Amino acid sequence: MDFTFPNGRTLRDTLACDLADERGRWLGTGFGNLVDHRIGFRSQTGFPLTGDYAIGIRHGMRETPLPGVSDIGFRLEPAAER
């Protein structure tokens, strides 16, 4: 993941997360082709600068695109909602 701050500084970090179990079943909740799999990441991160931030997500798997994955979402929540 790349976090770009309003001043242009970019911070890159890696998050390892399993999407399926050892039998190939998707982790998370849902039905059909839609699965919601929430992963906590950087729970103490704040946004100290005023302005626009950019967050880039990419996978590190060998296959592109990933079979069975058509979309990915990213959600920010205030600390009080966790």
My answer on whether omega of the bond before 65 falls inside 30° of 0, hence cis, is yes
Q: Which whole number is the average pLDDT over 1-23? A: 89
The residue segments making up the domain with residue 27 are 1-82
- What's 33's DSSP letter? T
Residues 6 or more apart whose Cβ sits within 8 Å of residue 77: none
User: Helix, strand, or coil here: 50?
Assistant: coil
- Global confidence as pTM: 0.62
Instruction: Give the pLDDT band (50/70/90) at residue 19.
Output: confident
Q: Which whole number is the average pLDDT over 19-41? A: 82
Number of domains within the chain: 1
The letter for the amino acid at 67 is P
Decide: 13 and 42 in contact? Cβ < 8 Å.
yes
